[in-house]
């Protein structure tokens, strides 16, 4: 039941969007289509990402006050948490909003993995997934720029996905570091461990997925840069 629902809501629409783009893009370059699909997905999800990035910026601005609370109640975790929550409420900030992009991206990544397996490896009949108004090309040429096979893992795209993930994570780390050891450890994991995990996973999956991750991360970096500069902190 859940698998069928996941197919109807995410997998099938994404396959149709990919094939529709493939039919119209000059040269039928599926890599270009994946980048275009990435931009469409990002534009659809832009409001939620915008809200999350603004909240992250406001959290960064509150870092000095949060450090003061940690120092003031360093021996009383309960009082520390209570005063922090009061501060978040005062500035209308959710400390969990930065997790929103990951929670949104995760089901899309799982769906895209299935989409690339189905559409790029040529072992499944695309016609069983396509809407009646979408022309069935029979199979998709998996080559990107006539060279990179997106149906197989690719070292270069995997490394680039990890590098861009590092720069995106670095933008989210407050310049004034936290005094909380737990938060410092989380920041360290976000900055270094997450990009390494991205590379390891990317090197094991069809290259279409790290290409999507690379494109969406570049888009996210541009969005974060714009919001950080254009939006005053709360």
Of the listed ranges 21-35, 62-76, 152-166, the one predicted with least confidence: 62-76
3-state secondary structure of 144: strand
Specify whether the CB–CB gap between 50 and 227 falls below 8 A.
Answer: yes
CA–CA dist 208, 157 (Å, integer): 9
CA–CA dist 169, 194 (Å, integer): 8
Record the pTM: 0.79
Specify whether the CB–CB gap between 141 and 162 falls below 8 A.
Answer: no
Question: What pLDDT digit, counting tens, does each position of 75-122 carry?
Answer: 777 887 788 788 777 777 776 666 666 677 788 888 888 898 888 887
Question: What pLDDT digit, counting tens, does each position of 187-220 carry?
Answer: 666 678 888 998 999 999 899 999 999 999 998 8
Distance separating the N- and C-terminal Cα atoms of the chain: 44
For 4-37, b where at least 16 C-beta lie within 10 A, e where not — what string?
A: eeeeeebbbebbbbbbbbbeeeeeebbbbbbbbb
3-state secondary structure of 134: coil
Q: Own/partner pairs for 92-98, CB < 8 Å, 24+ apart? A: 92/234, 93/55, 93/58, 93/59, 93/62, 93/234, 94/55, 95/59, 97/51, 97/52, 97/55, 97/56, 98/52, 98/55, 98/56, 98/59, 98/172
Domain locations in the chain as residue ranges: 2-54+98-230
């Amino acid at each position: 039941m859940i698998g069928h629902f996941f197919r109807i809501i995410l997998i099938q629409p994404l396959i149709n969007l990919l094939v529709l783009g493939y039919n119209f893009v000059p040269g039928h370059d599926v890599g270009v289509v994946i980048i275009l699909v990435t931009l469409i997905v990002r534009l659809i999800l832009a409001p939620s990402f915008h809200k999350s990035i603004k909240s992250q910026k406001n959290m960064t601005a509150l870092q000095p006050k949060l450090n003061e609370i940690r120092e003031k109640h360093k021996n009383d975790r309960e009082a520390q948490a209570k005063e922090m929550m009061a501060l978040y409420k005062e500035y209308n900030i959710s400390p969990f909003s930065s997790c929103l992009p990951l929670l949104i991206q995760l089901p899309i990544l799982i769906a895209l993995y299935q989409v690339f397996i189905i559409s790029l490896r040529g072992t499944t009949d695309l016609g069983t997934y396509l809407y009646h108004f979408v022309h069935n090309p029979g199979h998709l040429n998996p080559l990107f720029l006539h060279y990179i096979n997106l149906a197989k893992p690719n070292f270069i795209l995997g490394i680039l996905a990890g590098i861009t993930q590092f720069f995106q994570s670095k933008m989210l780390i407050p310049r004034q570091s936290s005094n909380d050891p737990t938060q410092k450890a989380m920041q360290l994991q976000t900055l270094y461990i997450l990009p390494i995990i991205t590379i390891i996973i990317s090197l094991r999956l069809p290259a279409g997925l790290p290409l999507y991750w690379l494109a969406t991360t570049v888009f996210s970096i541009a969005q974060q840069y714009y919001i950080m500069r254009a939006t005053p902190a709360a």
